[in-house]
Amino acid sequence: MFRLTPQPIDTGAARREILDAGAGGYVSFEGWVRDHNEGRQVTRLEYEAFAELAVKEGERILGEALARYPVKHALCVHRVGSLGLADMAVWVGVSSEHRGEAFEACRYIIDEVKHRVPIWKKEHYVSGDSGWVNCERCAAPAHA
Amino acid sequence: MFRLTPQPIDTGAARREILDAGAGGYVSFEGWVRDHNEGRQVTRLEYEAFAELAVKEGERILGEALARYPVKHALCVHRVGSLGLADMAVWVGVSSEHRGEAFEACRYIIDEVKHRVPIWKKEHYVSGDSGWVNCERCAAPAHA
Amino acid sequence: MRLKVQYYALMREQAGRSEEWLETPAPTPAKLFDELSARYGFTLAREQLKVAVNSEFSDWTRALAAGDAVVFIPPVAGG
Amino acid sequence: MRLKVQYYALMREQAGRSEEWLETPAPTPAKLFDELSARYGFTLAREQLKVAVNSEFSDWTRALAAGDAVVFIPPVAGG
């Protein structure tokens, strides 16, 4: 299941959703807001999602992971709204009978989520300006 | 750092030890007691460690991971004593600037810990008997 | 033809709105984008975007129908 | 020569003890293992084990010294 939330992600609750007595391994990934990106000092981030399609595409990715890797359960929660340094932006958890598949499925999910799910982030910098990540060149007509 | 504990692993506290405002990604692995192994129904496990060497070898593995992969922090906690189904036997956490290295380092650590650290587990089965994992053939002279 | 367009992220800032209903002769998302890009001065080229119609990814050449909801999707950056 | 031997897991069960001090003529861990295997009937062959001396992995052919602490390490199964 893929979820968006404007609240801090409750990893304990998310983890409990994918606990399974038949699973021997569990891998989770957390994406945190870094204090820097591409050489610039970041103070906070804003995440914005096209919610309806984000959930659809996120669910597709989880379905692909479950079909590709023999894992038990997979869950991804993505935060939206304003986040400060070290806040958690995304959480992925996978439980599996064997650990190899759990690592592979978890990595597949976060890689695909980052590339395919319509979520955007705007970085605010110490210098006072801001920019949409992956759109820097496009955002400034002078650079086009 | 590598630690052994007879108490349930406090993943929240362990995670806080490796939080880092310069890290953008965090990968963790948890090994849970499964209700079955190699076709037999398991009821509980006992973990036993050669503590002094286990900690030394665990620390070496973490040092190797930090040298091999450009990650920020790595920590492993292994439980010892009697564990029930779904209890957590081992926890590994890695924080990193980029997620790829965090996945690779975490996987390296758990793979090496399982192969090199002197910790043993005895499975107790529904049928009432028990066996040391990886020593089954050796444990029964009749099979030698 | 009357359509709904929703804007997100950079597109929202450049359009100055989150959504709008508009009357357009554009038969496809591609033509609609050209029309709106001329109006709002989008800095992203069409080749840098994806498009969704009625909350599902779509071809740029799909035939639009009255009442469709169109979203231009700039490069994503989740995680 | 007086040595300490510590036993873990299957070795502990088969030796019936966690540790012991013993007097031995064995010059190496390999010879010490053969001696103790004959005494306790270990079901693991030496090739299946590793050995530690003074809490560090060791060669089987290292020269033992009085006071050394030896541990025979059966196949591990952490995690």
Which pLDDT tens digit goes with each residue over B90-118? Answer: 999 999 999 999 999 999 999 999 999 99
Which chain A residues contact residue B106 at CB under 8 A?
A: 27, 103
pTM above the 0.90 mark?
Answer: yes
The pLDDT score that the predictor gives to residue A137 is 55
The pLDDT score that the predictor gives to residue D16 is 97
The pLDDT score that the predictor gives to residue A141 is 45
The pLDDT score that the predictor gives to residue A144 is 35
Chains A and B touch (3+ CB pairs under 8 A): yes
Contact D44 B138 (CB under 8 A): yes
The pLDDT score that the predictor gives to residue B136 is 62
Give the mean pLDDT of B120-139: 85
Contact B24 A32 (CB under 8 A): yes
Does C10 touch chain A if contact means CB atoms closer than 8 Å? yes
Cβ-Cβ contacts under 8 Å for B38 (sequence gap 6 or more): none
The pLDDT score that the predictor gives to residue A136 is 63
Which of the other chains make 3 or more beta carbon contacts under 8 angstroms with chain D? B
Check whether A54 has a pLDDT greater than 60: yes
Which chain A residues contact residue B12 at CB under 8 A?
A: 12
The pLDDT score that the predictor gives to residue A138 is 53
Q: From the CA of B25, how many Å to the nearest CA of chain D?
A: 23
Question: A104 vs A137, which has greater pLDDT?
Answer: A104
pLDDT tens readout for residues D17-74: 999 999 999 999 999 999 999 999 999 999 999 999 999 999 999 999 999 999 999 9
Interface probe, candidates A18, A27, A88, chain B, greatest B C-beta count within 10 A: A27
The pLDDT score that the predictor gives to residue B34 is 87
CB pairs under 8 A between A and B: 78
Contact B23 A32 (CB under 8 A): yes
The pLDDT score that the predictor gives to residue B138 is 52
Does C78 touch chain A if contact means CB atoms closer than 8 Å? yes
Residue B116: phi and psi, rounded to 5, are: -120, -25
Does B114 touch chain D if contact means CB atoms closer than 8 Å? yes
Residue A29: phi and psi, rounded to 5, are: -125, 140
For residue C76, give the nearest of A116, A122, A144 by CB distance: A116
Give the mean pLDDT of A106-111: 98
The per-residue DSSP string of chain B comes to -EEEESSPP-HHHHHHHH--TT--EEEEEEEE--SEETTEEEEEEEEEE-HHHHHHHHHHHHHHHHHHS-EEEEEEEEE-EEEETT-EEEEEEEEESSHHHHHHHHHHHHHHHHHHS-EEEEEEETTS-EEETT-HHHH-GGG-
The pLDDT score that the predictor gives to residue B142 is 40
Report the DSSP beta bridge partners of residue A16: none
Question: A3 vs B37, which has greater pLDDT?
Answer: A3
Give this complex's ipTM: 0.91
Rounded CA separation A41/A37 (Å)? 7
Does D18 touch chain B if contact means CB atoms closer than 8 Å? no
Does A118 touch chain C if contact means CB atoms closer than 8 Å? yes
pLDDT tens readout for residues B53-73: 999 999 999 999 999 999 999
Check whether C3 has a pLDDT greater than 90: yes
Which chain B residues contact residue A14 at CB under 8 A?
A: none
For residue B22, give the nearest of A25, A34, A102 by CB distance: A34
Which chain B residues contact residue A98 at CB under 8 A?
A: none
Q: How far is CA D71 from the centre of its chain?
A: 4
A122 burial level (CB within 10 Å; 0-12, 13-18, 19+): buried
- Scan residues 112-131 of B and list those with Cβ closer than 8 Å to A: none
Distances from the Cα of B72 to the Cα of A132, B20, B24, B60, angstroms: 26, 8, 10, 16
pLDDT tens readout for residues C51-72: 999 999 999 999 999 999 999 9
| A39 token code pair | 């050489």
Give the mean pLDDT of A82-95: 95
Which chain D residues contact residue B138 at CB under 8 A?
A: 10, 43-45, 48, 74-75
In this prediction, residue A33 has a pLDDT band, given cuts at 50, 70 and 90, of very high
Give the mean pLDDT of C3-21: 98
Check whether A142 has a pLDDT greater than 80: no
Q: From the CA of A37, how many Å to the nearest CA of chain B?
A: 9
Q: How many CB atoms lie within 10 A of CB A6?
A: 10
In this prediction, residue A22 has a pLDDT band, given cuts at 50, 70 and 90, of confident
Using a pLDDT cut of 70, give the percent of chain B over it: 94
